[in-house]
Amino acid sequence: MFAQKFVEGLVAGLQIGSIYALIALGYTMVYGIVKLINFAHGEIIMIGAFVALAMSNLIGANPFTMIISMIASSVVCALVAILVEKIAYKPLRNLKRITSLITAIAMSYLIQNVFMLIEENQQTSPSFIKFPRVNFGNASVDLYTTLFTVGVSILLMVGLMVFVKKTRIGKSMRAVSENMDAAKLMGVNVNTTISITFALGAVLAAIGAYFYCLRIPFFKYTFGSIDIGIKPFVAAVVGGIGSFPGAMIGGYVIGMIESLIGVTEISKWKDVFVFGILITVLVVKPEGIFGKNVGHKV
């Protein structure tokens, strides 16, 4: 009995952990470059899910159309993210941090409520791929979906790492996150770099939304804020915000803990555990597991 539940929790944890890791990377990239928690990131994921639904209605749902609609949803999400950045964050870049934090919350709220007016009811997730379930003794787990999710996510993460380390744009991203003014003086186009960062985060979020749709049968316009918006953020903070490996490991840790608690009797309290971990990490080591401790200049 225990072993069965443990296996189920483990597999589900790997699956949700990769989704969290993908989304946490978006948070971490944006935070690294503009030092701002992008509260609207969760809403970008929600838009990704809605685009997936619209595309599945439009061109049907099978593994081939999945690739087409993934590209479409990535483009839409990237455009929305760039728009959000231009409207809400760019004009306030030189003001107090609290102002852009408030606009970030406002933007998230705005997108969520626009979608509430468009479609208020619960939607059935589009099922682009259906894998058979696998039995391990008594435990029935969604092994192939998990393997698919984990494989693609790790591929994307490695691709992102290579992109940031090797390409010219990646180099300018690192330069801007290190010192925006100095990067500007060296001829880096800061605005374009920031837009690309937001777009990259949004693409990862859109793909994360597809994997989330494979896992969850229904979704609603609110799922971007609580279900899938805040927990990846917790993962990013736990791993150390601004650090890429931190976001990945944080995502897997939070996903694992959440689903392992989810199969026990105290499953109702799993949110308390997740936020408890966040609070503990922030209090004990505020820069996160992999974060760098930057001193405060007087």
Q: Which residues bind another protein (CB under 8 A)?
A: 36-37, 87-88, 91-92, 95-99, 101-103, 105-107, 109-110, 112-114, 116-117, 181, 184-185, 225-226, 230, 233-234, 237, 268-269, 271-272, 275-276, 278-279, 282-283, 286, 298
Q: Least CB distance from residue 261 to another protein, whole Å?
A: 12
Q: Least CB distance from residue 23 to another protein, whole Å?
A: 15
Q: Least CB distance from residue 92 to another protein, whole Å?
A: 7
Distance CA 177, CA 90 (A): 15
CA dihedral sign of residues 107, 113, 117, 119: positive
**Longest CA–CA separation in the chain, Å:** 63
Residue placing its CB nearer to another protein in the complex, 143 or 235: 235
Q: Least CB distance from residue 221 to another protein, whole Å?
A: 11
Residue placing its CB nearer to another protein in the complex, 171 or 184: 184
Residue placing its CB nearer to another protein in the complex, 72 or 241: 241
Q: Least CB distance from residue 96 to another protein, whole Å?
A: 8
Q: Which amino acid is at 205?
A: A
Reference 126, options 75, 70, 55, 64; nearest CA is: 55
Residue placing its CB nearer to another protein in the complex, 161 or 282: 282
SS3 state at 285:
coil
Per-residue b/e over 127-144, b at no fewer than 16 CB within 10 Å? ebeeeeeeeeeebebbbe
Residue placing its CB nearer to another protein in the complex, 134 or 282: 282
The CA angle 33-39-44, to the nearest 5 degrees, is 95
